[in-house]
Amino acid sequence: MIYRVLADVLMVAHAGWILFILAGFVLTIHGFWNPKFFERWLFRTIHLLGILFVAALELLNKYCPLTIWENALRRHYDPGTDYPGSFVIGHLEELVYPEVSPLVVFVPTMLIAVFTLTVFILKPPSKFRRKLK
């Protein structure tokens, strides 16, 4: 029973991570109208590193470590309860994007990563600007 609970907690944390990545993208766009957002160096740095990690996983065609860990916990509880594919495909796409091409995840991930990196370089937080001088 504990493995199932741990897997479910991990799934919720994974969903939170995905929401953080998507919210960071939306907040970065919003930053053009609210420039104070661009000074949130810790949020922006964690978001940048996170989306670059996600993009690297997509480019390498690897599963997220959280997906692998969750599947291991589910298999330990009941070998028939894990799902094939990534977290997004396994839990969210069944509801929102049934039988979707992997490009539906890959292309937006790459676009968000390039956009986030570009904005971080062009509009770095002042904390980083001071260090670059």
The pLDDT tens digits for 15-63 are 889 889 999 999 999 999 999 999 999 999 999 999 999 999 999 999 8
**Per-residue confidence (pLDDT) for residue 44, from 0 to 100:** 95
pLDDT attached to residue 97:
43
Assigned token pair, 96? 């929102």
Q: Left, alpha or beta for 99 (phi > 0: left; psi -120 to 50: alpha)?
A: left
pTM of the model: 0.79
Q: Are 91 and 11 in contact (CB under 8 A)?
A: yes
Residue 95 is predicted with a pLDDT of 45
What pLDDT is recorded for position 110?
95
Tell me which residue of 22, 29, 43 sits closest to 96, measured CA to CA: 22
**Contact (CB, 8 A) for 43 and 127:** no
pLDDT band with cut points at 50, 70 and 90 for residue 77? confident
Share of the chain above pLDDT 70, in %: 80
Question: What pLDDT score was predicted for residue 100?
Answer: 67
